[in-house]
Amino acid sequence: MGQKTEASRLAYDKIASEYDTSREGQYTRFHIKELSNTVDLRENAIVLDVACGSGTLLRELSKRAKIQAYGIDISKNMIHAAKTRYPNMNFKVKPCCPLEWDDESIDIITVCCAFHHFENPQGFANECQRVLRKGGAVYVADPNFGAVLRFFANNLWFPFSKSGDVRVYNPKELEAFFYHAGFHTVQVYRKAQGLFLKAKK
């Protein structure tokens, strides 16, 4: 586990019990709503939410269709919260890379407000390409920072952050990870405070 990943684990273990009412939890609500409205779902789809936190996104997706819901997170306290709230879903303490799933075994992968914590974003995109079935897709929601704020965050804030933040990306940087991983269709758009990606295999 890298230094930033360990920092993320410690930070989210600490705030897990109050995450949903915290400032960060409230910030992610917009991103969760946008993803829950835009993810293409079918009945019995296998959905993996990476860095699932307390499981809120999977709950919202399960309202739209009957899915096989799996969530992973590096924070054991977040996973405990998710299991307590949604006992009918499958939650495990696992890293984002490598993904411990078989080749072509997942239909949908989601990441909400966590991609900027990933120490190996290209490795994660490659893993998505590996585990997704043909026609499957990965959806990413992350903060939408303008150029000035992005420069400030990446160069002056994140290097000293104790929350495990690694880097926020502009749209071209974000889509490049998934094109390089071999996805044939990658769409990125900005909406309010969110930067959203859909990459289809």
CATH code (residue 156): 3.40.50.150
Give the per-residue pLDDT at 169: 98
What does the block give as tokens for 22? 């915290």
CA distance 24 to 111: 15
The string of pLDDT tens digits covering residues 96-128 is: 999 999 999 999 999 999 999 999 999 999 999
Which residues constitute the domain of residue 44?
A: 3-200
Residue 22 has pLDDT above 90, yes or no: no
Give the per-residue pLDDT at 30: 97
Give the per-residue pLDDT at 20: 87
pLDDT band at 23 (very low <50, low <70, confident <90, very high): confident
Percent of the chain with pLDDT over 90: 97
Residue 76 has pLDDT above 90, yes or no: yes
Residue 88 has pLDDT above 90, yes or no: yes
The string of pLDDT tens digits covering residues 137-192 is: 999 999 999 999 999 999 999 999 999 999 999 999 999 999 999 999 999 999 99
Give the per-residue pLDDT at 98: 97
Q: How many structural domains comprise the chain?
A: 1
Cβ–Cβ under 8 Å, residues 12 and 73? yes
CA distance 155 to 20: 29
Residue 21 has pLDDT above 90, yes or no: no
The string of pLDDT tens digits covering residues 28-50 is: 999 999 999 999 999 999 999 99
